[in-house]
Amino acid sequence: MRTRVRAAAFAATCMFALAACGGGGEESAATGPAGDPVSGGTARLLIQDDPRSLDPALLSNDVNYTAAVGNALYGQLIVNDPETGELTHVLAESLETSDAGATFTLTLKPDLVHSDGTPFTAEDVKFNWERMADPATGSPYAGNAREIDELTVTDDRTLKIALRNPNAQFSTEIVETALNWIAKPDTLRKGAEEVNDRPIGAGPFTLTEWRRQDVIALERNDNYFDQPRPYLDALEIRMIADEEQRLDTVLNDGADLAQEAQSPAIARATDSGMQVARSDIGGGIAIVFNTQQAPFDDVRARQAINHALDLELVDDAVNQGTGVVPTHLFPKESPYYKDIPLHTTDKSRAQTLLDELAAEGTPLTFSLTVYSSPSAQRMAQSVQTQLGDLRNLTLKIRTIEHAEIGGIFASRDFEAITSSVPANGLWIRLRGGAGNNYSGIDDPEMNRALDASRRTNDDAELTEHYEVVQRRLAELSPIVYFQGLAQTLYAREDVGGIAVYGRGSPRVDQIWLQPS
């Protein structure tokens, strides 16, 4: 059977995200100018952060960071429709399984070439995926890649994939990660300098210049397989860390469009009449506790922080009240909803737990690792302020750059850290031993439920399994959701073809500009 994201499950997570990502007025339709696409021109796109490398394994396929860069240089194997979950094969011709997700066959489209004209083959995909799984590469998606047990090339277009654990939704692992981006192996073998100066892939654009912390300048790839795309002659990707400055730059014609994950800016963009393309995958952003070491190997420490925080105050600080805190794993409209709150503010209970720990000689002292972005700093300040009046608790804020995150997760060098935990990624984030289970939680009962949820498409069975997951999450508190996921691309009215897939990842090959 040809794999796709199951419509009912996807609709449930979409409903959760719509509830979690509200704010502002009604979402505008991302239609753009009327008429057929027009070729030519240079589009100016804003993102939050400069990549540490143009190596696809080190880029983040996420609206928060470098999704546009990866899509421009390397294209995509597969994309999905954020509204329906249906898959579209781009560089891939098909991805099929006949054994409920234990093995897959990936077939590439015929006659694909890299931007330098050399063939793009199944061997290239195999090399990239195996390299991504190698801890030495330092990819933030190493855990996803290590879910692949064996790769076998049968011809230039065909790759056989055996998974370590059956996963009927393996397509999601590709769509939402850097598994979607394939670079020419010869370039990767030559090292970082070659990759950063002369990256070669099969994407719609090629690099002309990268000025760090300023601009990535790209020009049209005339060897791109899907002519007449890309429609643009050139694409400039610029970095602005502050979301309000990004929006003001677009509003004042300093840029044409921007990736955005911050609710206040999305609300303003919508209220300003901009086009907004949204990707709603459910889940949220959470404080993730490292349960594999002190102090958060003790459930009481995790529960104390969970009870101590008023997450509405965190939302006020981060989103000026435009976001919605995910109090349950699924919304009431979802077939998987159970009235099992994941969070209850109870400062008295928090203080009791802290006093217990202190009486045993282990007063709670920990660091919270957050990014340097303005919104992350607002979140950290709110948490620090709220915890400041509790006894037997010491909190330090540790600020990092996004480029550091792969190494931090790989070495588990944190006590508490912020990370997204999407609703369609529960297994990889919460299953004991899974590659991106950053909390390290390993609960047999939750493990069994998560395993079973990946092997069925029956709503009744899924509801039963997800009830176990919700109950164990509430009891064990390995994470604390504090913000729903908002993943968008907004644009001026003269920009055509804005579309996103996965986690708000922009389809830069489709963008075009209306002539002035």
Residue with the larger pLDDT of the pair 123 and 462:
123
Rg (CA), the chain: 22
**Measured between alpha carbons, how far is 438 from 472 in angstroms, rounded to an integer?**
17
- Which structure tokens are listed for 196? 């950063």
Give 10's pLDDT tier (boundaries 50, 70, 90).
very low
28 has a pLDDT exceeding 50: no
Domain locations along the chain: 42-246, 284-484
Average pLDDT, the chain: 90
Q: Is the dihedral of CA 299, 301, 307, 313 positive or negative?
A: negative
SS3 89: strand
14 has a pLDDT exceeding 60: no
Architecture of domain 42-246: 3-Layer(aba) Sandwich (3.40)
- Which structure tokens are listed for 256? 């044409």
282 has a pLDDT exceeding 70: no
Q: Identify the CA nearest to 480 among candidates 428, 427, 417, 433.
A: 417
274 has a pLDDT exceeding 70: yes
Burial of 222 (0-12, 13-18, 19+ CB in 10 A): exposed
**Superfamily grouping for domain 284-484:** Dipeptide-binding Protein; Domain 3 (3.10.105.10)
Q: How far is CA 193 from the centre of its chain?
A: 27
374 has a pLDDT exceeding 70: yes
Q: What is the DSSP letter of 431?
A: S
Give the phi and the psi of residue 347 in degrees, each rounded to 5.
Answer: -65, -35
Maximum distance among all Cα pairs of the chain, rounded to whole angstroms: 71
**Measured between alpha carbons, how far is 168 from 97 in angstroms, rounded to an integer?**
8
pLDDT in tens, 143-185: 899 999 999 999 999 999 999 988 888 998 899 999 999 999 9
Least confident interval from 13-22, 101-110, 424-433, 435-444: 13-22
Scanning the structure block, which residue is given the tokens 């990268």?
A: 210
Task: Give the type of residue at 156.
Answer: D
Give 428's pLDDT tier (boundaries 50, 70, 90).
confident
353 has a pLDDT exceeding 60: yes
Q: Is the peptide bond before 295 cis (omega within 30 degrees of 0)?
A: yes
Task: Give the type of residue at 137.
Answer: T
How large is the average pLDDT for residues 384-402?
A: 96
Give 281's pLDDT tier (boundaries 50, 70, 90).
low
pLDDT in tens, 34-66: 899 999 999 999 999 899 999 999 999 988 889
Scanning the structure block, which residue is given the tokens 């502050």?
A: 242
Q: Kind of pairing, strands 215-220 and 92-96? A: unpaired
**Measured between alpha carbons, how far is 103 from 109 in angstroms, rounded to an integer?**
20
Task: Give the type of residue at 222.
Answer: D
pLDDT attached to residue 310: 96
191 has a pLDDT exceeding 50: yes
pLDDT attached to residue 454: 87
